Amino acid sequence: MRKFNIAAPVDMSKGFQDFFDTIGLTGGGLVTKGIAAVIAIIAVRMMFTAHSDPKGALRKGSLAVGTLFVAVILALYGDTMFSTVTEAKG
């Protein structure tokens, strides 16, 4: 019978550093994605509550779309934008 190797063994002896390297994120990149997710949830909530006030619905809806746009840009390019910040030397 043939033995299937689904995944190659990965050395995780360095802990979180190895884990983040395998998923292609740094700790700062993961935090940036988390912040973008929270902002996106807030924007979706803003969209759902925009219909409650007919006079301000256009303003609230456009504000929610802008907030969602910021969340998407932060999720896509946040780790690149914040990588230009000087890193602490230890």
Give the residue extent of every domain in the chain. Answer: 36-90
Could you report the per-residue pLDDT of 14-66, keeping only the tens digit for each?
A: 766 666 666 666 666 777 888 889 999 999 998 888 888 788 888 988 999 99
Can you give the pLDDT at residue 76?
Answer: 83
Can you give the pLDDT at residue 75?
Answer: 84
CA distance 48 to 60: 10
CA distance 89 to 41: 35
Kindly state the tokens that stand for 46: 């803003």
Can you give the pLDDT at residue 66?
Answer: 94
Q: What is the dihedral of CA 23, 24, 29, 31, to 10 degrees?
A: 10
Q: CA geometry: angle at 17 spanning 16 and 22, to 5°?
A: 95
Do 56 and 21 meet the contact criterion of CB atoms below 8 Å apart?
A: no
Can you give the pLDDT at residue 24?
Answer: 63
